Amino acid sequence: MKIKTLVLNPSQSQRRYLQLYDSICADILQGRMKKGDQLPSIRSAAKQLNVSRTTIENAYQRLLMEGLIVALPQRGYFVDAEEAQSELRCDIMNTGIEKQPDEEWIDLRSSSIDAEAFDTNVWLHYIKLVLQNHTWLTSYGDSQGEYLLRKTLQKYSYAMRGVLCKEDQIVIGANFQSLLYLICSLYQGKKVIGMEKSGFIQAEQVFHDCGFTIIYLEFDEEGIDISELSKHDLGMLYINSASSGIKKRALHSKRRKELLTYIQEHDVILLEDDHNGELRYQTKLRPAMQGFDRSDHIIYMRSFSKLLLPSIRMSFMVLNESMHQIYKRKKQNYHPSASKLEQLALAHYLMDGHMEKQIRQLRKRYEANSSLMMELLETHFSSFTYLLDETSLQILLYPRRSHDVTAYIEAAKDQRILVQRYGKEALALSFASLSATTLKEALLLLAEVWKVVE
């Protein structure tokens, strides 16, 4: 058999073996050569094309590497590409890399923030600072998180949230899930965890993967009640201390005290999710429970998604002392997950006091935005009841009559507005993702289209 279609062009800048490779490749992918067809031997191809054997060898080597041909001992080279694969190969080689079109949607879901809410120039300054000291970045870094950031977070958490810990108790991870996997990995007690049935499915997935039984606890208006807890035999308890229960409130003092007594008496590890705990603008700021725990039963957890950019994947936790001791022994079993570049940038950002400034600005912004949204809801959305979920930066809407909210979500979509479901019977509208002007525009549009749904 001959290589029919090939004309080697010595004036072409591309190296000859690549020209040959491209040509055979095209023959195979476009069906001119089929599975099982034999290629000429290296010797005869070299003769036929008047090139060195090395050129042919290099071309065949590449085809072999890509699995387009096989070499059978004592027999020679054969095409080995199946049709389905040929299509995929063509597709990979020929489609350009296009950005998915940025469609013009108004996004009221909680997964993004208004671009104006964070000064990316300040952030860029710290990213540059770290990159300029580039020897910092030539090693993996501490799997526990960078020392500088842990030290900074220790001070920040004390000043802003009353958290009391040594910097060695802090572990930094890329996200909540990586921290939760770590907790499950270290934990040696009863694999039964109680949590609110609020739909934190990513946390539930981790507990499920690690063989935990999940018990959904009944929360009342004020959060978790001790009488509910004592019905179960828990090993761990997951609480969003900044917003829980029917009213989405921070746990008040009496409940906190009861809870602290309960975890001590029943030897339960409490995972305290202090979700945006410092982001209060309508209600009173309450410190984290961790600072009040005298019996070493609380693991404090935080992310910064809504305070900085959501795209910065960074969370941390403060291990209680007994888990910390286990962690110290097993530390080498875990890889670092958070970007070292972003960790060091955040450390310097915190050290220079930008976070406090950022939080002050966010409080103002979210106070204004939530008030605006509430006003609009009161005026134009009489068929819903509302609830401010302060630290989640959203308002929950419960339709007074209809109970499935799918129709509302679909009607919004028709207007190119994205709205999030909250459980089965409610919607969550985020006021963090848009400027005041766009927020108003979106809500007036929704008021219009949702009239038809009712």
Which of these ranges, 15-23, 286-294, 359-367, 374-382, lies near a copy of itself under the rule CB under 8 A?
286-294
Indicate whether 292 belongs to the interface with a copy of itself (CB under 8 A): yes
What tokens were used for 71? 């070499």
Min dist CB 37 to a copy of itself, Å, is 18
Residues in contact with a copy of itself, counted by CB under 8 A, come to a total of 91
Query: 97-134 burial by CB neighbour count: b if 16+ within 10 A, else e?
Result: eeeeeeeeebbbbbebbbeebbeeeebeebbeebeeee
CB atoms within 10 A of CB 308: 21
Residues 6+ apart with CB under 8 A from 377: 384, 386, 395, 397, 443
Positions in 391-410 near a copy of itself (CB under 8 A) = none
Among 46, 162, 418, 435, binds a copy of itself (CB under 8 A): 162
Contacts of a copy of itself in 344-383 (CB under 8 A): 351
Q: Tell me the closest approach of the beta carbon of residue 384 to a copy of itself, in angstroms.
A: 25
Q: How far is the CB of 135 from a copy of itself (least distance, A)?
A: 5
**Closer by beta carbon to a copy of itself, 258 or else 380:** 258
Residues 208 and 200: beta-carbon distance below 8 Å: no
Nearer to a copy of itself, 294 or 400 (CB): 294
- Under the binding rule (CB under 8 A), the answer on residue 74 touching a copy of itself is no
Is 154 near a copy of itself (CB under 8 A)?
yes
**Inter-helix orientation angle 406-414/436-453, to 10°:** 120
Closest contact distance (angstroms) between CB of 183 and a copy of itself is 10
Which lies closer to a copy of itself via its Cβ, residue 196 or residue 386?
A: 196
| 166 is a site residue for a copy of itself (CB under 8 A) | yes
- Cα–Cα distance between 30 and 71 in angstroms, integer? 21
First to last CA, the chain: 73
Distance CA 3, CA 56 (A): 12
DSSP 133: S
In the block, tokens 């409490």 appear at 270
Q: Site for a copy of itself (CB under 8 A): which residue of 52, 333, 382, 406?
A: 333
Helix (H, G, I), strand (E, B) or coil at 429: strand
Contact between 212 and a copy of itself per CB under 8 A = no
* Distance from C-alpha of 22 to C-alpha of 93, rounded to nearest angstrom: 11
Residue 336 sits in the site that holds a copy of itself (CB under 8 A): yes
Distance separating alpha carbons of residues 110 and 335, to the nearest angstrom: 30
Does residue 54 touch a copy of itself according to CB under 8 A? no
SS3 427: strand
Among the listed residues 78, 136, 386, 398, the single contact to a copy of itself using CB under 8 A: 136
Binding mask 232-271 for a copy of itself (x = CB under 8 A): ----------------------------------------
Could you give the CA distance from residue 421 to residue 419 in angstroms, rounded to a whole number?
7
Q: Which stretch binds a copy of itself (CB under 8 A): 12-20, 38-46, 197-205, 441-449?
A: 197-205
Distances (CA, A) of 148 to 151, 343, 345, 407: 5, 9, 10, 50
In terms of CB distance, is 165 or 417 closer to a copy of itself?
A: 165
- Least distance from a copy of itself to the Cβ atom of residue 253, Å: 8
Is 311 an interacting residue with respect to a copy of itself (CB under 8 A)? yes
Q: What minimum distance in Å lies between the beta carbon of 394 and a copy of itself?
A: 15
Residue 342 interacts with a copy of itself (CB under 8 A): yes or no: yes
Q: What is the DSSP string of 157-189?
A: HHHHH-----GGGEEEESSHHHHHHHHHHH--S
Binding marks (x or -) toward a copy of itself, 88..127, rule CB under 8 A? xx-xxx---x-xx------x---xxxxx-xx-x--xx--x
Cβ at position 283, least distance to a copy of itself in Å: 13
Eight-state DSSP code of residue 289: G
Spatial contact of 136 and 335, defined as CB atoms under 8 Å apart: no
In contact, 279 and 306? CB cutoff 8 Å: yes
- With respect to a copy of itself, which residue has the nearer C-beta, 78 or 136? 136
Using CB under 8 A as the binding rule, whether residue 78 contacts a copy of itself is answered as no
* Shortest reach from residue 420's CB to a copy of itself, in Å: 12
Give the interface segment with a copy of itself, choosing from 33-41, 144-152, 233-241, 365-373 (CB under 8 A). 144-152
Query: Which SS3 state, helix, strand or coil, does residue 419 take?
Result: coil
Q: By CB under 8 A, tell whether 230 contacts a copy of itself.
A: no
Mask for 413-442, x = binds a copy of itself (CB under 8 A): --------------------x---------
Cβ 262 to a copy of itself, closest distance in Å?
A: 18
From residue 348, give the alpha-carbon distance in Å to each of 67, 124, 165, 258.
Answer: 49, 12, 20, 39
